[in-house]
Amino acid sequence: MRHALRVLPVVVAVVIAIGCSFAPSDDRTGVVGPDLGQFETAGVGDYLDHRCGSLDCHGQPTRNMVLWGCDGLRLDPDETGLVPGCDTTPTTTDEYEASYRSIVGLEPAVMTQVVENGGADPELLTFIRKARGWDAHKGGAIITPGDDQDVCLTSWLAGNADANACSQAQLESP
Amino acid sequence: MRVRSVFVALLALACADPVKNAEIAALGPEDPSVPRGELHRPGQPCLVCHDDFSVAGTIYHDDLSTAYDGATVTIVDSTGSQTTATTNSAGNFFVRKSDWQPTFPIGSFTTDAGSVTGVTVVGDDPSTSSLMLSQIGRDGSCASCHFGSGPSTASPGPVYVREASQ
């Protein structure tokens, strides 16, 4: 009995060590997503926030593919006072990452397939089909294959986000 | 008798949208001091009930609580088509579908006609205006997004006229 008590702390320490040694969540689920850095720096996230993330669309916390950013819903778990409006506080890195995960997490297996194939057949992804109006989409057909909005997304999926297209995509009339 | 049964059945079916019914119920009762009409329910999402409106809302002074009477609201849709409405003493304005129906989104775009701003609100001083730079995707009720007594993570707060001193 005394021996068991002496060994117990070692067993507990080993169990804790094993518990903390699991792979990061992305490794665990095996998702291959498009580049997170490009999502922020090439303007993919800004385009999506502006054109899709308004508070009456994907900026609603109850919707599928929730998007966060300065043009819509803010992500502010620490209650620092973030409010909608890009003239007050630009989209934060946490918000870019949350929106990225929201998109990649929609169809992780399909996303992996598209990204691993260099962005081929992006229409396999529901969010592309919906944006093109090929699947039912309450917001209607937002993009047309080949326009700046489409190029912004498909170039990002292909691994080389077109920053110019993403910038134009925010300004052009749909 | 049979006609009455059919009528009652149709009425029941017409009221059978639980989502819409819940939205309407969430608005609460009428203010007994304000008769039903264009002055009622300021700050609430008008289109929840008013299916015949395309765009409607309430404009305030920059204290975010005093109604702005006489503000001019100009709305331009994604095709460049535009309409204008003026707020009443409750700060309310509305555009009927029969007068104008926007092609969503309403936002700030570069169109064939040049740059457009989706929503502009001008008060007594024409040199000051409040511009909406983000986009309206599909909901014509201002208060669907502009709710609450002030800004929060999910709302910019009430729509207000920027006063000259700002």
Q: How far apart are CA B79 and CA A173, in angstroms?
A: 7
Mean pLDDT of A161-169: 96
Q: Would residue A21 count as lying in a domain?
A: no
Structure token digits, residue B97? 């579908």
Q: How far apart are CA B22 and CA B34, in angstroms?
A: 23
Q: How far apart are CA A108 and CA A33, in angstroms?
A: 8
List, in order, residues 6 or more apart from B130 with CB less than 8 Å away: B120, B121, B122, B159, B160, B161, B162
Mutate to test the interface with B, among A47, A52, A54, A80 (most CBs of B within 10 A): A54
Look at chain A and report how many structural domains it folds into: 1
Q: What is the pLDDT of residue B38?
A: 96
Q: Between vectors from CA B145 to CA B144 and to CA B150, what angle results, nearest 5°?
A: 115
In this predicted model, which residue has the larger pLDDT, A11 or A60? A60
Kindly tell me if the per-residue pLDDT of B36 is higher than 90: yes
Kindly tell me if the per-residue pLDDT of A1 is higher than 60: no
Q: What is the pLDDT of residue B65?
A: 96
Long-range contacts of B79-82 (CB under 8 A, 24+ apart): B79/A173, B79/B103, B79/B111, B80/A173, B80/B111, B80/B112, B80/B113, B80/B116, B82/B116
Mean pLDDT of A74-84: 94
Closest of B122, B112, B99, B107 to residue B76, by C-alpha? B107
Kindly tell me if the per-residue pLDDT of B46 is higher than 60: yes
For B154, the closest of A51, A55, A171 (CB atoms) is A55
* Nearest residue on chain B to A46, alpha-carbon basis: B134
- ipTM confidence score: 0.83
Mutate to test the interface with A, among B111, B134, B149, B166 (most CBs of A within 10 A): B134
Tell me: the pLDDT tens digits for B50-78? Answer: 999 999 999 999 999 999 999 999 999 98
pTM for this prediction: 0.83
Kindly tell me if the per-residue pLDDT of A22 is higher than 80: no
Mean pLDDT of B122-130: 88
In this predicted model, which residue has the larger pLDDT, B110 or A151? A151
Q: Would residue A134 count as lying in a domain?
A: yes
Q: What is the pLDDT of residue B7?
A: 61
- Do B54 and B96 touch, CB atoms closer than 8 A? yes
Q: What is the pLDDT of residue A28?
A: 61
Q: How confident is the model at residue B88 (pLDDT cuts 50, 70, 90)?
A: very high
- Do B88 and B38 touch, CB atoms closer than 8 A? yes
* Range B74-103 burial, b when 16+ CB lie within 10 A, else e: ebbbbeeeebebebbebbbbbbeeeebebe
For A54, the closest of B135, B152, B157 (CB atoms) is B135
Q: Would residue A139 count as lying in a domain?
A: yes
* Nearest residue on chain A to B143, alpha-carbon basis: A56
| Residues A173, B110: C-beta atoms closer than 8 Å | yes
Q: How confident is the model at residue B17 (pLDDT cuts 50, 70, 90)?
A: confident
For A56, the closest of B78, B108, B137 (CB atoms) is B137
> For chain B, where are the E strands, in sequence order?
53-60, 72-76, 82-86, 92-96, 109-111, 114-116, 119-122, 129-132, 159-160
Q: How confident is the model at residue B22 (pLDDT cuts 50, 70, 90)?
A: very high
Q: Between vectors from CA A54 to CA A53 and to CA A58, what angle results, nearest 5°?
A: 45
Q: What is the mean pLDDT of chain B?
A: 90
Chain B partners within 8 Å of A83 (Cβ): 151-153, 155-157
Tell me: the pLDDT tens digits for A24-78? Answer: 555 566 899 999 999 999 999 999 999 999 999 999 999 999 999 999 999 999 9
Taking the mean position of all CA atoms in its chain, how far away is CA A44? 10
Tell me: the pLDDT tens digits for A107-155? Answer: 999 999 999 999 999 999 999 999 999 999 998 999 999 999 999 999 9
Structure token digits, residue B11? 């009425």
In this predicted model, which residue has the larger pLDDT, B117 or A164? A164
Which structural domain, as residue segments, surrounds residue A47?
A: 43-171
Domain boundaries of chain B, sorted by first residue? 42-160
Q: What is the pLDDT of residue B102?
A: 96
Q: How confident is the model at residue B110 (pLDDT cuts 50, 70, 90)?
A: confident
